[in-house]
Structure 1
């Protein structure tokens, strides 16, 4: 029997991560996996050692063109049209020789998968009926039509509510969990002082926006004090894309960088690079202005406190949508650093609310193991 061949098609950093987790699980079945990320450089695929079969390029918007028409025109001037054409040619050339095109993301990759004429499966990362407060369906008639074509073997959606609602139009809509919650087991031990409340800062990964986000978070840290009645120990999950010079250039007055620690008088924020899972598990709460990292923190049952930023990603619109998706696990505060610090004290002092937040996170994000379950399900479909 010849080896099965699968082509992963994804359009975004978070989508790449989900695709690589499923791809890694598929490799256990001796499947050849090719990758075509249509946004960014596809670093997640490269880290797994998968072959990237088409051209890649980071666009000025960072992949957030749907939020602002000005960002779209920046990408057009940056060569978006030519890049898209080259990627489409690659897809048309390779897809007929694949047993399956796995489209991970939104309607863009779903449409491209359909147009290849090859069998395809869809992992919907962008839509959830929680965005609509439970009403069906966040998926448009066009998306539902694409998911009911004969070539579409299965569609995996991100939560049980969406699968149940979508099932009335798309019989092959399936929920097997959210791969975003996989591979989050700590690999090292992160030491923190006993008896402290561990606060995690998640400023995002895209400079210069992440630098501005971190500066705003430090203004919250200045106002935290003890929450409640416990000394605070602050961690920051620092993305590899954030440089010392950029962090230093955006620090609020009084803050300075000493090695891997940000200091102001008796305050300290410990910058941790490459230890994201450890930070997530040790923290009791997060202050976040991020996408995927926020959802993962919520899925582990932690309360997340957030405030709108300047964008292009983390605007009020993005943050408000995030609260609909994730419910009361995300506390959106618009009144500035002092108001946010006060809200942290209120929530952390309410044991009943914290327990509701823990249960809500598991309901919205699911349990680990989704990538393995999806891979097994896919193998049965193409085998």
Structure 2
């Protein structure tokens, strides 16, 4: 009888000791979000792993929202993670303690692996981002998997062949036959690297030329974008069929980095003014998808300076009670920090000066007009690289006034719009990537 009573306890002990212990590494705000989406899918598995995290850049708020414990020391660097676009940002981070922090984090990963080994637990590491978390994982001594968010073969080639480049230094990007350099491929081809998840099918195809366990699971950036409301609601009084007079909808994506986004917003408002003055349609609606960390008052002041008047109601009803509505001539403009998914889906075209948001909008099969700013993120070099990544879907203009002929030409060419729709899906993938990655991780890491 006593043996039978102890069986459930024994089974519970065996389940705990056989459960995978997974440490997730990521190096950036966007990478944290992608990692969090994969974690959510891992937690839905029949035997989910015990999950820990180490955000190498920033404080890992995405993990905090999931109640995933973080190991090691975390700290926000002065650059906010944009060291790759400006060497001065890197030096600021070095002066801010980057080297010491990195060493402490490497030691924390090794200590975590050793502690799990002493307990006799299965252990593995999931690295999300670029070579930094990948290197941390390779140095840990545990099995690992890698979700590559930073690189894509589309930066240097398309399905036809290599892209023409003006700079001789650009050859460095593809000198070894892949956007991933030999040392990165070496880390991905180690015996302990059990799975690699590139961001698109083309990159997966190229990596498979080497002994790399690459899987085309899609891009988690396209997950979690389902809108609460499928279609916008228009208020046109007594009109029975509002679709007949549906206005053109332009989504505005100024970015999420505070000071830069405010500068971007001023540039975008010049493009908006030009569009209103030159647009012949009876009405146009602008939807400002504003990051939660931005100050709406600053954005509103810019609008009022440029002649926009705040209104109590708008022609588009959104579910955000805090949304701000403005009007000018034949146009409405709505600012919301809670309607991101809706604004992505409702827009016919976007004016963008953003990273992730631009890619997600294009992934929905829609065209985007981009205006390079001063940076540190959305500067001319970043925008040019993003245009290679996203192909025909991203149209770069060098001054706000050029938005008018660009829009007019774009919407007079249905074949081009169809090509953009297909291109966006091909380059960014279909939703459901996080679940596919989680299922593959369960199979490859346990």
Using structure 2 for the length normalisation, give the TM-score: 0.81
Q: Give the superposition deviation at 1:85.
A: 2.6
* Structure number with larger C-alpha Rg: 2
Give the stretch that moved more between structures: 121-130 or 345-354.
345-354
8 Å contact kept, 2:284–2:332: no
The 3 A distance-change label for structure 1 pair 274 and 261 is: closer
Distance 1:285 1:169 in 2: 39
Partner of 2:292: 240
The 3 A distance-change label for structure 1 pair 262 and 86 is: farther
Distance 1:277 1:228 in 2: 28
Q: Give the superposition deviation at 1:31.
A: 1.5
Partner of 1:27: 43
Partner of 2:30: 14
8 Å contact kept, 1:218–1:252: no
DSSP 3-state at the match of 1:222: helix
The 3 A distance-change label for structure 1 pair 372 and 116 is: same
Partner of 1:115: 139
The 4+ residue runs of structure 1 with deviation greater than 6 A are: none
Q: Give the superposition deviation at 1:95.
A: 2.9
The 3 A distance-change label for structure 1 pair 109 and 59 is: same
Give the stretch that moved more between structures: 313-322 or 344-353.
344-353
Distance 2:225 2:430 in 1: 11
Does the alignment pair 1:291 with 2:355?
A: yes
8 Å contact kept, 1:128–1:158: yes
Give the stretch that moved more between structures: 187-196 or 14-23.
187-196
Partner of 2:261: 210
Distance 1:330 1:106 in 2: 24
Q: Give the superposition deviation at 1:261.
A: 3.2
**Which among 196, 214, 229 is matched to residue 155 of structure 1?**
196
Structure 1 gap ranges (5+): none
Distance 2:101 2:228 in 1: 38
8 Å contact kept, 1:284–1:302: yes
The 3 A distance-change label for structure 1 pair 230 and 56 is: farther
Q: Give the superposition deviation at 1:214.
A: 1.1
Distance 2:204 2:282 in 1: 42
DSSP 3-state at the match of 1:70: helix
DSSP 3-state at the match of 1:287: strand
Deviation per residue, 1:175-218 (Å, 9 max, x gap): 11111111111134674434111110000101100111111111
**Which among 30, 44, 69 is matched to residue 51 of structure 1?**
69
8 Å contact kept, 1:10–1:38: yes
Distance 2:298 2:102 in 1: 31
Partner of 1:94: 112
The 3 A distance-change label for structure 1 pair 161 and 138 is: same
The 3 A distance-change label for structure 1 pair 230 and 299 is: farther
Partner of 1:314: 378
Distance 2:300 2:108 in 1: 42
Q: Give the superposition deviation at 1:117.
A: 1.0
Superposed, which structure 2 residues align to 1:1-383 within 5 Å? Answer: 1=15, 2-29=18-45, 30-96=48-114, 97=116, 99-134=123-158, 135=162, 136-188=177-229, 191-193=232-234, 194=242, 195-225=246-276, 227=279, 229=281, 231-248=283-300, 253-255=305-307, 258=310, 260-261=323-324, 263=326, 265-266=328-329, 267-334=331-398, 336-383=399-446
Distance 1:285 1:32 in 2: 42
8 Å contact kept, 1:192–1:233: no
